[in-house]
Structure 1
Amino acid sequence: MYKIVGSPRTRVMRIIWLLEELGLPYELEPAAPRSERILSLNPNGKVPVLLDGDAVLTDSVAICTYLADKHGQFTFPAGTIERAKQDSFTQFGVDELEGALWTSAKNTFANPEGHRVKEVKTVCAWEFAQGLKVLETRLGDGPYVMGEAFTIADIIIGHCSGWAVVTKFDLPSEGPLYEYFKRLRERPAFQAMMEKVKTAA
């Protein structure tokens, strides 16, 4: 059985969501970033951590990629054009959406007080909005970023949309992106993930 170590209301959500999509059993061990438990597994103190037997895996994108590849679901095969396009969407989510969210978070609570620049949050909100414009253009006819196939790229981007709500960054209230994010939230595995997060919090 897989074990996820980390605070539930973090990027840990991505791993729970994917394991729910895969229908695989797992155990969740709550642990705060930079806690003694996390530092014993990951020197930079970040979550999530996935334990697979004796293997210790870190970084949510790497973990999602590993699980999807291992179980042959929610990803295209490595070395295909489709996989390259999927990876492009994943990297877009990390760079353009998560980048703005994480920079805002670091300057709100994650960094020590003397190393925060509150004014940068306005820039982050603007960058996130620009990213959404690009995503709407790239989305096409959907229903997912890779067309009919739901992939881990949707999990990364979908998680960023939820993070945006917490950060109070604007999300569309109508149109293709609104429908896309709504479609992701309606997936049974997403709803199961949210229940697990509420229970563990």
Structure 2
Amino acid sequence: MTQLTLIGHPTTRAMRVMWMLEELELDYDVQGSKPHGPDILRVSPSGKVPALIVDDVVLTDSVAICQFLADREGKLTAPAGTIARGQQDAHLQFACDEIDGSLWTATKHSFALPEKLRVAAVKETARAEFSLAMKRLEARLGDGPYLAGDDFTVPDLIIAHCLSWARAAKFEIESETVQAYGKRCRARAGFRRAVERAATL
């Protein structure tokens, strides 16, 4: 049986991987390391979390890990090489570039960067970019409960995590459609299990 060990604290992007692991109902261990902690530095010189150790192999980057797990299990994803997968990957790229990107820019200039490198005005630009991304997300959702219609897939998980991050960072989400989408994603049993496990770390 494959051994899965997640390194990263759920207050980081490691929560995405925990959620995916719970959605797929996989057994895994967690080492609740913060960025640049000793546990993560032992397996990843960058010190960035999360990392997933699959037997003795280290995988990094939350998006890559989540897609790997979905592909391996054949769940929460369209098959590679299909038109549906091409559309799914486009949604995923949008999530990384326009939603995660604006949130991470604001975060870096709030506390992640050394103080001498922070530019307060950049955070207003990030908020404007996030607001535009929410309008684009509403258009992508259309009338479907999820980005792929009735099917919850990897980009839904990544975007829903970003929406929770946005709420914590006090980024305004004006769209009722997007708000309802976020609640729908967070109502999933996999997310609730991940939250319960996170509370024990």
TM-score under structure 1 length normalisation: 0.96
Give the count of matched residue pairs: 199
Counterpart residue number, 1:46: 48
Deviations 1:7-28 (A, max 9, x none): 2211001101011110111111
Offset of 1:178 from its aligned partner? Answer: 1.7
> Does 2:72 match 1:70?
yes
> Does 2:25 match 1:20?
no
> Does 2:160 match 1:193?
no
2:108 to 106, 109, 116: 106
Offset of 1:36 from its aligned partner? Answer: 2.6
Alignment of 1:126-165 (within 5 A): 126-165=128-167
2:89 to 80, 84, 87: 87
Counterpart residue number, 1:32: 34
| Identical amino acids, percent of aligned pairs | 47
Counterpart residue number, 1:121: 123
Offset of 1:39 from its aligned partner? Answer: 1.9
- Stretches of 4+ moved more than 4 A in 1? none
> Does 2:192 match 1:179?
no
Query: 1 CA distance for matches of 2:154 and 2:131?
Result: 22
Once superposed, what is the RMSD of the aligned Cα atoms?
Answer: 1.0
Counterpart residue number, 1:59: 61
Gaps of 5+ in 1: none
Gaps of 5+ in 2: none
Structure 2 counterpart of 1:86, one-letter code: Q
Query: 1 CA distance for matches of 2:37 and 2:113?
Result: 15
Query: 1 CA distance for matches of 2:189 and 2:24?
Result: 12
Offset of 1:175 from its aligned partner? Answer: 2.6
